[in-house]
């Protein structure tokens, strides 16, 4: 028996799933990516930090600000740019905007229809109009932040190596603060809706999680260290020693292993590794819903994304207050013309690595690893586990195909990101 999902729906990009089952054995599970390879890393060679900040985010629209921040961090570390506090805070606010936009799109528009039995978010309008409209408002708010700080919803150019072309006006920032405060009550009630969903139990197994380790023991979306759920903490620049990349013939997306095993990145990984650092309502909700199934069941990713939305809305007022106190800094210049820099950030769907070498101010070598590429092996593992259990329960192929698609979707896969990838593929 072959269970096939030809084309994954409600995910970003083009991919499919094939599961082969013989009797009570699951013979093969393949998540196929059929987007063509764009060779972005090879195109980064010969470019300046500004050019890389401009074109590498085109890897992916929905993670474009994360790619922008990862690219900037890598270039600034390679060439020793100073980072004034206002620049840092403005970047953090911009990143928070992307988390809000992307998490709300995924939780409400892409994943929630699965749990409530609808083909799309638009089809949910009749019965859940209030939730749908408010969720779209939240998504729009994330976009508004990105447009204000980066110039466009998608692929703005205001943020670059050395800072910003223009910093926002105080009044514009105060509007953002007010809107964040206004949306928080909705998000608290919406998180309870997501927290109340029944989570399927046909795929439970422990895995390893990893995310950035933000400085000063805080929760956040970047850092120069990585933290694993097994307790290890490593400098980001050593990532190659811990995360091994490989290719598979049926997909243009590369895969990654940690200690020879698949691992998971994303909102769930962040809450598992550093969720105990949350404060305020986000912490309250984390404690209310955290249970021992979280480390075994990828469906909890949707709830983790909802709790991060609370964190993001609570974070904004403080960021705005600090930012408006500070003078706009001038564009910063590099302190040297050669060096290596690794920029690790948390894209909405997980750890993102940009690693550049520069000589005479131009890039000589680039390596980028995206979150979906890291998640693919675990997505296949959990689909395989689900296939064994659902097959035992005698479920038919159509039923299974729908469940497999739901599992893939729970990871919020971003296929544009996954397709491109790294080098050094020794077979």
- Where in 148-207 is the site for another protein (CB under 8 A)? 151-158, 160, 164-166
Judged by CB under 8 A, the stretch of 19-27, 45-53, 234-242, 352-360 that binds another protein is 45-53
CB of 64 or CB of 301, closer to another protein: 64
Residue 11 binding another protein, by CB under 8 A: yes
Residue 160: closest CA among 62, 85, 48: 48
d(CA 115, CA 240): 38
Give me the residues paired with residue 243 across strands. Answer: 258
**Separation between Cα atoms, residue 368 and residue 58, nearest integer Å:** 13
Per CB under 8 A, contacts with another protein among 87-106 are 105
Q: Does 80 bind another protein (CB under 8 A)?
A: no
Task: Give the residue from 62, 100, 85, 110 showing the smallest Cα distance to 179.
Answer: 100
Site residues for another protein, 251-290, by CB under 8 A, read 251-252
Question: Own/partner pairs for 354-359, CB < 8 Å, 24+ apart?
Answer: 354/56, 354/67, 354/70, 354/71, 354/73, 354/74, 355/74, 355/239, 356/44, 356/52, 356/71, 356/74, 356/75, 356/78, 357/78, 358/49, 358/75, 358/78, 358/79
Pairing of strands 263-264, 208-212: parallel
Least Å from the CB of residue 359 to another protein: 15
Residue 333 contacts residue 49 (beta carbons within 8 Å): no
Residue 117 interacting with another protein (CB under 8 A): no
Which of 4, 14, 177, 242 touches another protein by CB under 8 A?
A: 14
Give the nearest distance from C-beta 416 to another protein in angstroms.
5
Minimum gap (Å) between residue 250 Cβ and another protein: 5
The nearer residue to another protein, 51 or 355, going by C-beta atoms, is 51
Judge contact between 384 and 264, C-beta under 8 A: no
Shortest spacing between CB 31 and another protein, in angstroms: 11
Single out the residue of 1, 18, 116, 123 in contact with another protein (rule: CB under 8 A). 123
Residue whose entry in the numeric block shows the structure tokens 């928070």: 96
For the bound state, the minimum distance from the C-beta of residue 166 to another protein, rounded and expressed in Å, comes to 4
Q: Are 44 and 343 in contact (CB under 8 A)?
A: no
For the bound state, the minimum distance from the C-beta of residue 12 to another protein, rounded and expressed in Å, comes to 5
Q: How many CA atoms lie within 13 A of 149 on its CB side?
A: 28
Of residues 130-149, those binding another protein (CB under 8 A): 136-137, 139-140, 143
Smallest separation (angstroms) from another protein to the CB of 275: 28
Q: Which of residues 239-258 bind another protein (CB under 8 A)?
A: 247, 249-252
Q: Which of 2, 9, 181, 291 binds another protein (CB under 8 A)?
A: 9
| Binding residue (CB under 8 A) for another protein from 25, 46, 280, 337 | 46
Listing DSSP states for 103-117 in one string gives HHIIIIIIIHHHHHT
- The smaller minimum CB distance to another protein, of residues 43 and 234, is found at 43
> Roughly how many angstroms between the first and final C-alpha of the chain, as a whole number?
30
Residue 233 sits in the site that holds another protein (CB under 8 A): no
Contact positions with another protein (CB under 8 A) in 367-406: 405
Q: Which of residues 57-76 bind another protein (CB under 8 A)?
A: 58-62, 64
Residues 340-369 binding another protein (CB under 8 A) are none
The helix-helix angle for 125-150 and 64-79 (nearest 10°) equals 30
């Amino acid at each position: 028996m072959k269970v096939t999902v030809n084309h994954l729906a409600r995910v970003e990009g083009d991919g499919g799933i094939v599961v082969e089952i013989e009797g009570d054995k699951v013979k093969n599970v393949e998540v196929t990516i059929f987007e063509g390879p764009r060779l972005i890393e090879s195109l980064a060679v010969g470019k300046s930090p500004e050019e890389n900040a401009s074109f590498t985010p085109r890897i992916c629209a929905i993670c474009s600000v994360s790619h922008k921040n990862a690219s900037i961090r890598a270039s600034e570390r390679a060439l020793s740019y100073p980072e004034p506090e206002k620049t840092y805070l403005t970047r953090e606010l911009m990143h928070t905007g992307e988390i809000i936009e992307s998490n709300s799109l995924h939780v409400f528009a892409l994943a929630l229809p699965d749990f409530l039995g609808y083909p799309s978010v638009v089809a949910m309008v009749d019965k859940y109009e209030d939730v749908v409209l408010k969720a779209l408002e939240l998504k729009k708010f994330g976009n508004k932040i990105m447009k204000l700080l980066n110039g466009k919803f998608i692929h703005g150019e205001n943020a670059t190596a050395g800072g910003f072309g223009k910093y926002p006006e105080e009044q514009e920032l105060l509007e953002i603060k007010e809107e964040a405060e206004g949306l928080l009550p909705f998000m608290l009630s919406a998180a309870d809706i997501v927290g109340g969903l029944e989570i399927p139990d046909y795929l439970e197994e422990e895995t390893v999680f990893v995310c950035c380790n933000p400085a000063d023991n805080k929760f956040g979306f970047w850092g120069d260290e990585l933290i694993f759920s097994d307790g290890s903490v490593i400098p980001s620049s050593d990532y190659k020693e811990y995360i091994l990349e490989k290719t598979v013939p049926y997909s243009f997306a590369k895969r990654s292993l940690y200690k020879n095993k698949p691992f998971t990145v994303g909102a769930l990984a962040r809450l598992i590794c550093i969720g105990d650092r949350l404060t305020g309502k986000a912490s309250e909700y984390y404690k209310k819903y955290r249970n021992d199934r979280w480390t075994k069941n990828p469906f909890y990713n949707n709830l983790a994304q909802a709790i991060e939305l609370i964190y993001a809305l609570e974070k904004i007022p403080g960021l705005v207050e600090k930012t408006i106190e500070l003078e706009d800094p001038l564009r910063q210049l590099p302190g040297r013309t050669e060096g290596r820099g690794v920029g690790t950030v948390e894209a909405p769907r997980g750890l993102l690595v940009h690693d550049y070498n520069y000589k005479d101010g131009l890039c000589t070598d680039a390596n980028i690893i995206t979150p979906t590429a890291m998640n693919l092996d675990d997505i296949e593992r959990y689909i395989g586990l689900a296939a064994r259990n659902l097959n035992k329960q005698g479920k038919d192929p159509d039923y299974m195909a729908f469940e497999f698609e739901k599992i893939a979707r729970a990871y919020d896969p971003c296929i544009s990101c996954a397709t491109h990838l790294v080098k050094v593929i020794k077979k």
